[in-house]
A and B are shown apart, each in its own frame.
Chain A
Amino acid sequence: MARYDRAITVFSPDGHLFQVEYALEAVRKGNAAVGVRGTDNVVLGVEKKSAAKLQDSRSVRKIVNLDNHIALACAGLKADARVLINRARVECQSHRLTVEDPCTVEYITRYIAGLQQKYTQSGGVRPFGLSTLIVGFDPYTGSPSLYQTDPSGTFSAWKANATGRNSNSIREFLEKNFKETSGQETVKLAIRALLEVVESGGKNIEVAVMTKEDGLRQLEEAEIDAIVAEIEAEKAAAEAAKKAPPKDT
């Protein structure tokens, strides 16, 4: 084994782990990602930078499957993401092999978070520069879940959350407008949240819906455009209602 000279992640005098905080900065520079949990589905939405003309956009999928019933989206260093996703996929299968059952969303989140933590407490390595949003259905209870992990290795469950660029504004929006939704309503809520910070248009958003029966389904650009149009129409109608003087009796 190579000799590691020194740990890169060490405490500062006032108790900070600067490498981890810098990693969080890297996350903040990454593209926005939002996740919303409905009663019967979970929706992930990711900001897509406009594809270069010659780039095959299908090769840059930002929302990926970890197993049939678990999906992941992330914000931050995409190369780090690939490594983490591969390890998580192997762990999902390994769990299936060892206990003959699919793993729960919580289990794989715990594994990914544990992996991220290990790299903050080892010699010669730097932390992973990404936060993940993990969604899926519990194979035993059938209930949907949304979890978030970050470079420090902490994780928790959320009803709705955002990470990456302008995640604070998205989260504020979600806090104001979240309510229990199902089906298409959840998709709309996720897209509305993302549209707060992204220039509107199906070209700039990638959306996927996870349902218990059908697993992960990526929405087509046309579908997204249609929903965006609906949202714009609703917004316009709300504006008009506000502007128009209230009708008296």
Chain B
Amino acid sequence: MKLDTSGLESFPSLILHGNDVAGEISAPPSFDLPNSNDFDGFLKEAIQMVKPAKGTTTLAFIFKEGVMVAADSRASMGGYISSQSVKKIIEINPYMLGTMAGGAADCQFWHRNLGIKCRLHELANKRRISVTGASKLLANILYSYRGMGLSVGTMIAGWDETGPGLYYVDSEGGRLKGTRFSVGSGSPYAYGVLDSGYKYDMSIEEASELARRAIYHATFRDGASGGVASVYYVGPTGWKKLSGDDVGELHYHYNPVTPSTTVEQEMVDAAAA
């Protein structure tokens, strides 16, 4: 199967393929296969080794005013928290955002690459690319690398001529259009809060509060999520970062400690009989 390696090209190589008029793709870059009895098994194991668990919580939803995108910021390697300050919401261009779940390098590289493609589309066609088109470009690239160990579970959120757009795209090659998505190990917890609190007719403040609360609750219960809950809003004029709150502080914001009831018991001498 010919890989779509157009993502790795930095400029169209028309000069090199001057004789190639039939429109065929030149041979894709290839590598040697290892000698092994059970190549399929080897491939599966290699993918498992490379594939980091999608330890994260990201969510996005469409509401009356636009799209709300939120994510945590923890990166974990097994039980070790490698970073509490990872930027999981990637700015593709001023009116489109992508979320990161899965392999950080994969997400960052391919989102950056998508940004390049979107810009080239704008220059060639004198109009912005739609969220539909951008998500399809990414999905097609990821599909052509299917089975090769990419780990990407992303949501493309943006505002185009048809209004707000939200797509879920993953490294299996799937692409879904929707109004509410949450991706990552903390997503079940986030869905619980998001689904029960969601209304289409929300103001921006209500929606951002809902998003923040959903991320907080996911970080509370899921060990692989934590750090800072970032909330972004995508409207007709582009995206805007609304807040970035440490989830530890959010915990005490939602569960304030009242001075009267202390958890610990004060140690007093037993009353002398």
Interface residues, chain A, CB within 8 Å of chain B?
A: 1, 4, 87, 98-101, 104, 106-107, 110, 118-119, 121-125, 140
Q: Which residues of A contact B132 (CB under 8 A)?
A: 99-101
| Least distance between B138 CB and chain A CB atoms (Å) | 11
Q: Are B140 and A125 in contact (CB under 8 A)?
A: no
| Least distance between B14 CB and chain A CB atoms (Å) | 8
| Least distance between A55 CB and chain B CB atoms (Å) | 33
What 10 A-B pairs come out closest when comparing CB atoms?
Answer: A99-B133, A122-B21, A100-B132, A123-B19, A4-B19, A125-B21, A118-B21, A100-B136, A98-B136, A122-B19
Stretch touching chain A among B74-82, B96-104, B123-131, B186-194: B123-131
Out of B18, B125, B127, which one reaches A122, CB within 8 Å? B18
| Least distance between B26 CB and chain A CB atoms (Å) | 10
Residues A99 and B19 in contact in the complex (CB < 8 Å), given A107-B125, A140-B127, A140-B161? no
Residues A1 and B19 in contact in the complex (CB < 8 Å), given A98-B140, A107-B125, A140-B161? yes
Q: Are B18 and A121 in contact (CB under 8 A)?
A: yes
Q: Are A99 and B136 in contact (CB under 8 A)?
A: yes
**Is B137's CB within 8 Å of the partner chain A?**
yes
Of A104, A118, A124, chain B has the most CB atoms within 10 Å of the CB of A118
Out of B21, B23, B129, which one reaches A99, CB within 8 Å? B129
Q: When chains A and B are docked, how far (Å) is the Cα of A99 from the Cα of B71?
A: 27
Interface residues, chain B, CB within 8 Å of chain A?
A: 18-21, 23, 124-127, 129-130, 132-133, 136-137, 140, 161
Q: Which residues of A contact B19 (CB under 8 A)?
A: 1, 4, 122-124
| Least distance between A191 CB and chain B CB atoms (Å) | 34
The residue of chain B having its C-beta at the shortest distance from the C-beta of A1 within the complex is: B19
| Least distance between B83 CB and chain A CB atoms (Å) | 36
Q: Are A104 and B18 in contact (CB under 8 A)?
A: no
Residues A101 and B133 in contact in the complex (CB < 8 Å), given A107-B125, A140-B127? yes
The residue of chain B having its C-beta at the shortest distance from the C-beta of A99 within the complex is: B133
Q: Are A104 and B21 in contact (CB under 8 A)?
A: no
| Least distance between B233 CB and chain A CB atoms (Å) | 25
The residue of chain B having its C-beta at the shortest distance from the C-beta of A141 within the complex is: B127
Q: Are A123 and B18 in contact (CB under 8 A)?
A: yes
Q: When chains A and B are docked, how far (Å) is the Cα of A129 from the Cα of B18?
A: 20
The residue of chain A having its C-beta at the shortest distance from the C-beta of B21 within the complex is: A122
Residues A119 and B21 in contact in the complex (CB < 8 Å), given A104-B125, A107-B125? yes
| Least distance between B49 CB and chain A CB atoms (Å) | 33
| Least distance between B66 CB and chain A CB atoms (Å) | 21
Q: Which residues of A contact B21 (CB under 8 A)?
A: 118-119, 122, 125
Of B19, B126, B132, chain A has the most CB atoms within 10 Å of the CB of B19
| Least distance between B123 CB and chain A CB atoms (Å) | 12
Q: Are A98 and B137 in contact (CB under 8 A)?
A: yes
Q: When chains A and B are docked, how far (Å) is the Cα of A124 from the Cα of B22?
A: 12
Q: When chains A and B are docked, how far (Å) is the Cα of A110 from the Cα of B137?
A: 20
Out of A98, A118, A125, which one reaches B133, CB within 8 Å? A98
A-B contact pairs, 24 of them (CB 8 A): A1-B19, A87-B23, A98-B133, A98-B136, A98-B140, A99-B129, A99-B130, A99-B132, A99-B133, A100-B132, A100-B133, A100-B136, A101-B130, A101-B132, A101-B133, A104-B125, A110-B124, A119-B21, A122-B19, A122-B20, A124-B19, A125-B21, A140-B127, A140-B161
